[in-house]
């Protein structure tokens, strides 16, 4: 839909939109290029402080920050807020890549570096380009979109492989079973594709997987 929107815009001669898109890329590259290493965390914007998932995200982000990683989130409430909060508590840089939506997403108060995006595809490039790992906490369509895009890019060798970790076996197990019992069973993916994602529960295990793979 967004690609069609962009195509329609260009067809109508609105070439000035290219400058807006380019400006978002330039600002993102200039701001994030010196901040390494980073982990991108995704999850529901509807999770509230005190929820088990919210608090676990704070712990994971804090532990990663204490081990030298900076945290990138979508900059909004819920799991994004928890990731940014944990980053600050752990002494890492807390980065929020906010998106301008019709129902405007408020920026959470735990962000050190904030960027605003109008175009989802530009924002996605920033998540991918500057992450050494992806963490998917329980979330909805947006979380699934980000996680599966990363898996697809790794599977097709468009980017270097990095850890993609889904946290919460009670939430993600049925998805993993469907991938194994349907996609793999029907030979729509290869057996080695099952290794592109890890499903875990323990924050320490999350940190261990990332540290084992990424050199800080």
Question: Binning pLDDT at 50, 70 and 90, where does residue 213 land?
Answer: confident
E strands, 30-177, in order: 38-42, 70-73, 94-99, 113-117, 133-136, 164-167
Q: Residue 11 and residue 63: Cα distance in Å, rounded?
A: 48
User: From CA 97, how far away is CA 107, in angstroms rounded?
Assistant: 9
Query: For 131-160, what is the mean pLDDT?
Result: 97
The pLDDT, as a whole number, for residue 4 is 62
> Quick one: average pLDDT of 38-46?
97
Q: Percent of the chain beyond pLDDT 90?
A: 85
Question: Within 10 Å of residue 36's Cβ, how many Cβ atoms?
Answer: 15
Per mean pLDDT, which range of 32-41, 101-110, 157-166, 176-185 is the poorest?
101-110
Residue 100 has a pLDDT of 82
Neighbours of 60 (CB within 10 A): 28
- Residue 101 pLDDT: 78
Kindly report, residue by residue over 8-23, the tens digit of the pLDDT.
555 555 777 889 999 9
The structure's pTM equals 0.90
| Domains of the chain as residue ranges with CATH | 2-213 (3.40.50.450)
Please state, in angstroms and rounded to a whole number, the distance separating the CA atoms of residues 72 and 74. Answer: 7
In Å, what is the CA distance from 188 to each residue of 144, 157, 167, 193? 19, 17, 25, 10
Average pLDDT score over residue span 137-166: 97
């Amino acid at each position: 839909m967004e690609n069609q929107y962009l195509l329609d815009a260009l067809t109508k001669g609105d070439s000035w939109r290219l400058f807006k898109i380019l400006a978002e890329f330039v600002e993102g590259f200039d701001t994030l290029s010196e901040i390494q290493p980073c982990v991108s965390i995704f999850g529901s914007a509807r999770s509230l402080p005190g929820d088990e998932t919210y608090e676990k995200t704070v712990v994971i982000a804090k532990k990663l920050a204490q081990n030298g990683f900076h945290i990138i989130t979508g900059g909004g409430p819920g799991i994004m807020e928890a990731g940014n909060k944990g980053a600050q508590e752990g002494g890492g840089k807390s980065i929020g890549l906010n998106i301008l939506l019709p129902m405007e997403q408020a920026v959470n108060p735990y962000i050190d570096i904030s960027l605003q995006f109008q175009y989802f595809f530009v924002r996605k490039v920033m998540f991918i380009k500057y992450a050494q790992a992806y963490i998917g906490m329980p979330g909805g369509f947006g979380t699934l979109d980000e996680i599966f895009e990363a898996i697809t890019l790794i599977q097709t060798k468009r980017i270097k492989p990095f850890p993609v970790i889904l946290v919460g076996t009670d939430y993600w197990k049925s998805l993993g079973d469907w991938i194994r019992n349907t996609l793999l069973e029907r030979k729509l993916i290869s057996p080695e594709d099952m290794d592109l994602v890890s499903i875990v529960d323990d924050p320490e295990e999350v940190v261990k997987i990332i540290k084992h793979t990424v050199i800080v």
